[in-house]
């Protein structure tokens, strides 16, 4: 089951209370204040785990709570610090404050850590307030509450290349041909209902990750069809391969234009990504007959168009090398719109 969104309540541990105590022992008159400090509360920390691929664990785990700090005791004994709650999440997880929409953390690297809610500070015991002129303080501070907030988690797959196109354009068939991935294939629209990743090996060395993304239709930027289930995962791709059904009775160039419009309406920066057009289904006579004309029309739009066949493997080596070359020339992986890669913290201050 592929789950790429979750809403979770996060609570860091409260700090322990400081102790108000005086030393009382036989033959030791006026022993003085000896109340210890309370322990700090534990924080909630997210760390990325490459072994996790979805947010399915958070479908049922809706509350994350770190341990509170122990209270201070007499004889100047400080309370034990509350244990941090370290939570493993998939690489590519974005954490937002559900109330404000602010991005708390963008966890896009293996082993990356982010403090989501900070534990409360422990209170001071009365021994802390003793001075030469105030020898018997009757003051002890309570522990501070730990940070608490509702968060929204969103998973954006980390892929070098994204396969985009209208439903039934042949994206799943292509991914099966060029990698060991085995996405579902069928002769009907919306065969792909969840993203699938595959690793493409280059002859002579090198590789890259390709994502087969759910089909796109007009209005997807508003959530129509599979909508954001598709567009969300394009945000981190570095190169887009537009798969076009060259055998379609509809105009493939118009279909390509519809996809570009949806990409631009969702995130204008997607239109700046290096893109390659793959004219698919060259094994069919009607596609073969239109090939030269379509290559010329896409060339006039400034797009490189390569005739291929996902069914027979025709032209796939040229497509793979074109994608690999675009990756080599292009920038590093994008984090998507409005996302700061610096690690941040939320839900309280220490």
> Over the stretch 1-14, which tens digit does the pLDDT of each residue have?
456 789 999 999 99
Q: Which backbone phi and psi does 27 adopt, to 5 degrees?
A: 70, 10
Q: What does the domain layout of the chain look like in residue ranges? A: 1-156+346-350, 161-329
Residue 117: the pLDDT is 96
Q: How many Å apart are CA 17 and CA 126, to the nearest integer?
A: 11
Top-confidence residue, 265 or 297: 297
Q: Is 290 exposed, middle or buried (0-12, 13-18, 19+ CB in 10 A)?
A: buried
Per-residue pLDDT band for 155 (boundaries 50, 70, 90) equals confident
Give residue 169's pLDDT band: very low, low, confident or very high (50, 70, 90): confident
What mean pLDDT is predicted for residues 182-208? Answer: 67
Domain formed by 1-156+346-350, architecture: Distorted Sandwich (2.70)
Q: What fold is seen in the domain 161-329?
A: Rossmann fold (3.40.50)
CA distances from 183 to 15, 55, 65, 172 (A): 49, 20, 37, 6
- Note whether 1-156+346-350 and 161-329 share their fold: no
What's the confidence (pLDDT) of residue 156? Answer: 79
Q: Which residue has the higher pLDDT, 230 or 197?
A: 197
Compute the average pLDDT of residues 261-287. Answer: 89
The residue that leads in pLDDT, 81 or 346, is 81
**Residue 284 to residue 223: CA distance in whole angstroms:** 33
- pLDDT exceeds 60 at position 345: no
Q: Quick one: average pLDDT of 325-337?
A: 66
- Count how many residues are written for the chain: 350
Task: Tally helices (H) and strands (E) across the chain.
Answer: 5, 14
Q: Measuring CA to CA, which residue among 44, 66, 63, 216 is closest to residue 114?
A: 44
pLDDT at 231 over 80: no
pLDDT reported for residue 7: 93
Taken in order 315, 159, 327, 272, is the CA torsion positive or negative?
positive
Contact between 137 and 130 (Cβ < 8 Å):
yes
Percent pLDDT > 90 in the chain is 48
């Amino acid at each position: 089951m592929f789950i790429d969104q979750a809403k979770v309540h996060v609570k860091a541990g409260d700090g322990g209370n400081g102790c108000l105590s005086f030393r009382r022992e036989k033959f030791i008159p006026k022993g003085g204040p000896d109340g210890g400090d309370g322990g700090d509360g534990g924080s909630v920390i997210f760390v990325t785990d490459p072994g996790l691929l979805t947010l399915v664990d958070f479908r049922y785990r809706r509350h994350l709570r770190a341990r509170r700090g122990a209270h201070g005791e007499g004889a100047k004994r400080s309370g034990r610090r509350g244990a941090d709650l370290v939570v493993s999440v998939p690489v590519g997880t974005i954490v937002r404050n559900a109330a404000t929409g602010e991005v708390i953390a963008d966890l896009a690297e293996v082993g990356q850590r982010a403090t989501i809610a900070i534990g409360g500070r422990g209170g001071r015991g009365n021994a802390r307030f003793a001075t030469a002129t105030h020898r018997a303080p009757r003051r002890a501070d309570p522990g501070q509450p730990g940070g608490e907030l509702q968060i929204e988690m969103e998973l954006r797959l980390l892929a070098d290349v994204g396969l985009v196109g209208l439903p039934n354009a042949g994206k799943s068939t292509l991914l099966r041909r060029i990698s060991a991935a085995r996405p579902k294939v069928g002769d009907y629209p919306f065969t792909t209902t969840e993203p699938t990743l595959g690793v493409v090996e280059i002859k002579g060395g090198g590789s890259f990750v390709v994502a087969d993304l759910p089909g796109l239709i007009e209005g997807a930027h508003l959530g129509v069809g599979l909508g954001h289930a598709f567009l969300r995962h394009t945000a981190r791709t570095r190169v887009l391969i537009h798969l076009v059904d060259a055998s379609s009775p509809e105009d493939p160039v118009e279909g390509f234009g519809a996809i570009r419009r949806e990409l631009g309406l969702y995130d204008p920066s997607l239109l700046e990504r290096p893109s390659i057009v793959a004219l698919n289904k060259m094994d069919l006579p009607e596609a073969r007959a239109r090939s030269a004309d379509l290559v010329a029309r896409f060339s006039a739009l400034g797009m490189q168009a390569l005739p291929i066949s996902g069914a027979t493997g025709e032209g796939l080596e040229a497509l793979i090398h074109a994608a690999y070359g675009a990756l080599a020339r292009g920038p590093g992986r994008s984090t998507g719109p409005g996302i700061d890669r610096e690690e941040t913290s939320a839900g309280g201050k220490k």
